[in-house]
């Protein structure tokens, strides 16, 4: 039978998922029967005009009323405030759930979602997998596995943009990005899921301590920003400590800005006693750069490589990877305990910034 995929939300991100599903069907890789619902009937109607193969439904309860099959998938493509409630209802119906990022808006919600997935014996996935499996990241993992960098003693993960605020410079029609009660937060909730997913994919920590954190909302008088006040951060930083399974630990300096007054900067670098490496963890084109630093005869050396990217398109990855996971195939989908651990790091950064107290997050063993 053709796999059924149920879309909750009919906005911009839902249409990207629908395009990915259509692309797989057109390539003869995996056909699907697509269903859609949204609290806005006009959005559903417009969605069906663009994707006439989709079956519209008036509400979630009606859409999920038919008996579940083992491979049914529900994609939650709503603003974050609704993720937990919809995901838990979909899991309780006996269906696997792929949730847009951020997974939730609090650690309590994320834990409730994981509990519902365990109870239903279904997968809970997060769409923070859009940059998973890149060849540059794979090469870094190989260097680490072979011990070629020696003892790792620090990592820097800095991604600073001067004007790239969601809801302002980017997708200004989606003002909900700027309302904490809907979005859960600012740039840390928007881009942080990708940062943390890439960091944990590369280093595979089993525990992360947030030793210090701060958030800020620099003033920038864009007409959209001035139209209504907003209460989410656009610049965030944290000092993290990663604990690995082998007992080693090291600090990670993390910074993410969608608005700042200083220079734009991108630094993704791991340093060890035998060498260092920096790499493109974001690849929007056909290849990415990796730079390896070391020493030869007392002189510093630098070796640059360009690696071709043959992974699925970034916006296709979440559903492509999740469908593989549901089918029991090897997959880079971010699911279950890993998805909740990654989100927990984001939530811990907020908690540390708010309280001034260090926070710890541990990766649970799969059940």
Show which of 312, 327, 356 is a domain's final residue. Answer: 312
Residues 143 and 284 in one domain: yes
pLDDT at 218: 95
Q: Which helix (H) or strand (E) holds 98?
A: strand 96-99
In a domain, 349, yes or no: no
35/99 Cα distance (integer angstroms) = 16
With both helix axes pointing from N to C terminus, report the angle between 135-145 and 192-203 in degrees, rounded to the nearest 10: 40
**Given this model, what pLDDT does residue 161 score?**
97
237: β partners: 214, 255
Q: For residues 56 and 68, what is the distance between their CA atoms, to the nearest angstrom?
A: 17
pLDDT band at 226 (very low <50, low <70, confident <90, very high): confident
CATH number of the domain that 247 lies in?
3.30.360.10
Same domain, 332 and 232: no
Please answer whether residues 18 and 47 qualify as being in contact, where contact means their C-beta atoms are separated by less than 8 angstroms: yes
pLDDT per position as a tens digit, 250-262:
999 999 999 999 9
* CA pseudo-torsion sign 265, 266, 272, 275: negative
pLDDT of residue 286: 84
What span, in angstroms and rounded, lies between the C-alpha atoms of 31 and 11? 22
DSSP collapsed to 3 states, 269-318: EEEECCEEEEECCCCCCCEEEEEEEEEECCEEEEEEEEEECCCCCCCCHH
Within this chain, do residues 55 and 116 fall inside the same structural domain, yes or no? yes
* The pLDDT of residue 288: 96
CA of residue 9 relative to chain centroid, distance: 18
Of 84, 102, 79, 117, the closest CA to residue 337 belongs to: 117
Percent share of the chain, pLDDT over 90: 92
Query: Which domain range does residue 24 map to?
Result: 3-130+318-341
Sheet containing 124-126: order of strands: 55-56, 32-37, 3-8, 73-76, 96-99, 124-126, 334-335
Q: Token pair of 228, please?
A: 């209504």
Judgement on whether residues 15 and 143 belong to the same structural domain of the protein: no
* Residue of 328, 314, 316 whose CA lies nearest to 96: 328
Determine the Cα–Cα distance for residues 253 and 158; give it in Å rounded to an integer: 8
Domain presence at residue 246: yes
Res 79 pLDDT > 90? yes
Residues 209, 187: Cα–Cα separation, whole Å: 20
CB 50 within 8 A of CB 72: no
| Residue 195 sits in the same domain as residue 289 | yes
- In this predicted structure, the answer to whether residue 318 has a pLDDT above a threshold of 80 is yes
Q: Considering the domain boundaries, does residue 116 fall inside one? A: yes
Same-domain check for residues 82 and 165? no
| Omega cis (within 30) before 313 | no
Q: Which residue has the tokens 């239903």?
A: 120
Asked whether the beta carbons of 339 and 102 are under 8 A apart, the reply is no
Q: What is the mean pLDDT of residues 163-187?
A: 93
pLDDT at 358: 98
Q: Are 62 and 35 contacting, i.e. CB atoms less than 8 angstroms apart?
A: no
CATH code where residue 59 lies = 3.40.50.720
Q: What is the pLDDT of residues 112-152, one digit of tens each?
A: 999 999 999 999 999 999 999 999 999 999 999 999 999 99
Q: What is residue 330's predicted lDDT score, i.e. its pLDDT?
A: 97
Does 74 lie in the same domain as 13?
A: yes
Which residues have CB under 8 Å from 299's CB, separation 6+? Answer: none
Structure tokens at 149: 């960098």
In this structure, are 178 and 263 located in the same domain?
Answer: yes
Q: Which of 12, 69, 9 is nearest to 35 (CA)?
A: 9
> What are the tokens at 151?
């003892």
**pLDDT of 225 strictly over 80:** no
Q: Total domain count for the chain?
A: 2
Indicate whether 157 and 293 sit together in one domain: yes
Evaluate whether residue 84 is within a structural domain: yes
Does 50 share its domain with 186? no
């Amino acid at each position: 039978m053709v796999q059924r995929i149920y879309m909750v939300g009919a906005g911009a991100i839902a249409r990207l998922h629908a395009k990915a599903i259509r692309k797989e069907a057109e390539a003869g890789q995996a056909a699907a029967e697509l269903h859609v619902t949204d609290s806005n009937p006009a959005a559903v109607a417009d969605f069906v005009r663009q994707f006439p193969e989709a079956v519209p439904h008036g509400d979630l309860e009606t859409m999920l009323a038919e008996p579940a099959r083992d491979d049914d998938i529900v994609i939650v493509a709503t603003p974050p405030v609704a993720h937990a409630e919809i995901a838990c209802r979909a899991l309780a119906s006996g269906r696997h759930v792929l949730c847009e990022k951020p997974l939730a808006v609090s650690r309590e919600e994320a834990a409730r979602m994981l509990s519902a997935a365990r109870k239903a014996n279904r997968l809970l996935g997060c769409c923070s997998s859009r940059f998973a499996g890149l060849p540059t990241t794979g090469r870094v993992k190989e260097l680490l596995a072979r011990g070629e960098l020696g003892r790792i003693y620090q990592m820097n993960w800095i991604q600073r943009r001067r004007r790239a605020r969601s809801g302002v410079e980017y997708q200004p029609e989606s003002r909900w990005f700027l309302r904490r009660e809907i979005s859960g937060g600012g740039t840390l909730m928007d881009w942080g899921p990708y940062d943390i997913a890439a960091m944990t994919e590369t280093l595979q920590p089993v525990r992360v301590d947030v030793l210090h954190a701060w958030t800020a909302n620099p003033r920038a008088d864009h007409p959209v920003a001035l139209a209504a006040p907003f209460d989410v951060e656009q610049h965030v930083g944290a000092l993290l400590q990663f604990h690995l399974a082998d007992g080693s630990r090291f600090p990670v300096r993390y910074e993410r800005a969608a608005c700042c007054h200083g220079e734009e900067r991108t630094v993704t670098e791991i340093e060890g006693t035998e060498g260092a490496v920096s790499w493109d963890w974001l690849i929007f084109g056909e290849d990415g750069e990796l730079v390896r630093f070391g020493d030869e005869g007392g002189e510093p050396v630098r070796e640059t490589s360009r690696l071709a990217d043959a992974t699925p398109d970034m916006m296709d990855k979440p559903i492509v990877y999740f469908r593989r996971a549901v089918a029991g195939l090897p997959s880079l989908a971010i699911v279950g305990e890993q998805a909740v651990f990654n989100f927990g790091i984001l939530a811990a950064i907020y908690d540390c910034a708010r309280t001034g107290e260090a926070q710890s997050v541990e990766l649970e063993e799969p059940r």
